[in-house]
Amino acid sequence: MSFSQLGLCEPLLKAITEKGYSSPSPIQQEAIPAILTGRDVLAAAQTGTGKTAGFALPVLQRLAAGPKTAPNNVRALILTPTRELAAQVEANVREYKTHLRLKSAVVFGGVGINPQMKILRSGVDVLVATPGRLLDLYQQKAVKFEQLEILVLDEADRMLDMGFIHDIKRILKLLPAQRQSLLFSATFADNVMALAESITRNPIKLAVTPANTTVDKIEQQLVAVDKSRKIAALTKLIKAQGWQQVLVFSRTKHGANRIAAKLEGAGLPSAAIHGNKSQGARTSALKAFKDGSIKVLVATDIAARGIDISELPVVINLDLPNTAADYVHRIGRTGRAGSAGQAWSLVSADELEQLQDIERLIQMLIPRESLEGFEPNQVLPETKLLPPKKIKKPKKAKNQQADSAGKPQRNGNNQSRSGNSANKDGQSRPSRRRRVNPQAKRKAVEA
């Protein structure tokens, strides 16, 4: 399938070609025509699937046909949970609208409000915002919603996890009832469904990518290691593999700082990124990571949500997240939009329960490797694959029974997935133990 078959206009097709996209991703194939109909849409799509273009392209097309934006007004509002994600989404919108006469802007907290007020003065067609700053701007009469046509809630599950429900409800009261609403979320727990029901009217429901499963292209490994030796093991691993760009996950902000400092001390240029850092520090750490002046970025789950670095080769979990779905979000930072990636987890014996939950969610046993000199004293027991838990997803509307032949597998009630030897036959893969071979791995990364 090509983008032109989705009903997109020439200026957008030109921008897509310039961006280097050759064909639409599954979520784009589904979401673009659905949004172009003008109906509300509820989509299960995790980060890394191309969901941003999935909503941004049709939103821009619908706006291109509409009236001029009045001062301080906004015609499409995209709400995101984090500043980084807001900046990333707006950067994408900006590229996609290159050949259209539309204006976009991004507003988030942690930076001065005055420049944002100034930008809004002449009216903005697409505004990407985090909830708190948007409300501040509204209170200061810097933004009006009389012309609002489209609302997008991006990563709705994260918004709720981060406690934005009250802000979102306040914002909803300010918006015209007559509008198109689009809600994107990686997961659909009860609270997300309740929010979706209050926001959307008779939505088209899409569930293209299995919401809680790992991207097939990512090569996953785990190394069993004693808790007290994790940072030393991490240092050895990064050096032995010769990795040049590594995203490390830490559960806590304090942990992230400590890890970055220790890596730095061991000769690996590193920085930490988390919610307690100023916006300036977060932006400059991300920039240094992108341009290669630091090799390791240590992030907490929330801070990492907005990071989009194409072909990020390696993600390491220094500790396992408490929520299994976060493991999927974390490793989704690598292997983005079709490029191969590696995800490593350093797992200590006390994390057995989290490991079992993760393996149950992704329906595979993560292959084990041993790291020379770091064999654990406290043994991490072998795990067994448990049957999948039922996950709630939006039900498919009857009129949306599109032909799925040739498209990636949808979220059905069965939890099977394709493309992974552990899952093709529903059998668990026996765990393998291999020695890390730095040369071989490095070649794989460079390939």
Binding site for ligand AMP (CB under 6 A): 21, 24-25, 28, 47-53, 308, 310, 336-337
Instruction: Considering the complex, state which of residue 17 and residue 378 has its C-beta at the smaller distance from ligand AMP.
Output: 17
The distance of closest approach from Cβ of residue 21 to ligand AMP in the complex, given in angstroms and rounded to an integer, is 4
Token digits for 407?
């498209």
- Residue 121 burial (CB < 10 Å; 0-12/13-18/19+)? exposed
Those residues whose C-beta lies under 8 Å from the C-beta of residue 127, and which sit 6 or more positions away, are: 74, 76, 77, 78, 104, 105, 106, 107, 120, 134, 143
Q: How far apart are CA 250 and CA 227, in angstroms?
A: 13
Instruction: Considering the complex, state which of residue 11 and residue 24 has its C-beta at the smaller distance from ligand AMP.
Output: 24
- Helix axes 51-64 and 26-36, enclosed angle (nearest 10): 20
Residue pair 355/225 in contact (Cβ under 8 Å)? The answer is no
Residue pair 11/60 in contact (Cβ under 8 Å)? The answer is no
Q: How far apart are CA 119 and CA 142, in angstroms?
A: 9
The distance of closest approach from Cβ of residue 83 to ligand AMP in the complex, given in angstroms and rounded to an integer, is 15
Instruction: Considering the complex, state which of residue 89 and residue 366 has its C-beta at the smaller distance from ligand AMP.
Output: 89
Residue with tokens 């200026």: 11
| Distance linking the first and last C-alpha atoms of the chain | 28
Instruction: Considering the complex, state which of residue 51 and residue 329 has its C-beta at the smaller distance from ligand AMP.
Output: 51
The distance of closest approach from Cβ of residue 404 to ligand AMP in the complex, given in angstroms and rounded to an integer, is 18
Instruction: Considering the complex, state which of residue 1 and residue 70 has its C-beta at the smaller distance from ligand AMP.
Output: 1
The distance of closest approach from Cβ of residue 376 to ligand AMP in the complex, given in angstroms and rounded to an integer, is 36
Instruction: Considering the complex, state which of residue 23 and residue 37 has its C-beta at the smaller distance from ligand AMP.
Output: 23
Instruction: Considering the complex, state which of residue 180 and residue 209 has its C-beta at the smaller distance from ligand AMP.
Output: 209
The distance of closest approach from Cβ of residue 50 to ligand AMP in the complex, given in angstroms and rounded to an integer, is 3
The distance of closest approach from Cβ of residue 238 to ligand AMP in the complex, given in angstroms and rounded to an integer, is 24
Residue pair 151/179 in contact (Cβ under 8 Å)? The answer is yes
The distance of closest approach from Cβ of residue 27 to ligand AMP in the complex, given in angstroms and rounded to an integer, is 8
CB atoms within 10 A of CB 182: 27
Instruction: Considering the complex, state which of residue 206 and residue 223 has its C-beta at the smaller distance from ligand AMP.
Output: 206
Identify any residues that bridge with 221 across adjacent strands, giving them in sequence order: 344
The distance of closest approach from Cβ of residue 332 to ligand AMP in the complex, given in angstroms and rounded to an integer, is 9
DSSP 191-218: HHHHHHHHH-SS-EEEE-S-TTS--TTE
The distance of closest approach from Cβ of residue 28 to ligand AMP in the complex, given in angstroms and rounded to an integer, is 6
The distance of closest approach from Cβ of residue 240 to ligand AMP in the complex, given in angstroms and rounded to an integer, is 29
What is the distance, to the nearest Å, from the Cα of residue 91 to the centroid of all Cα atoms in its chain? 15
Tell me the three state secondary structure of residue 161: helix
DSSP 417-445: -SS-HHHHTSPPPPP-EEE--HHHHHHHH
CA distance readout (Å), 239 to 13, 207, 392:
43, 40, 42
One-letter amino acid at 17 equals T
Instruction: Considering the complex, state which of residue 143 and residue 286 has its C-beta at the smaller distance from ligand AMP.
Output: 286
The distance of closest approach from Cβ of residue 49 to ligand AMP in the complex, given in angstroms and rounded to an integer, is 5
Residue pair 372/343 in contact (Cβ under 8 Å)? The answer is no
Token digits for 15?
């921008």
Token digits for 299?
């992030």
Instruction: Considering the complex, state which of residue 100 and residue 165 has its C-beta at the smaller distance from ligand AMP.
Output: 100
- In the structure, how many helices (H) and strands (E) does the chain have? 17, 15
Instruction: Considering the complex, state which of residue 84 and residue 308 has its C-beta at the smaller distance from ligand AMP.
Output: 308
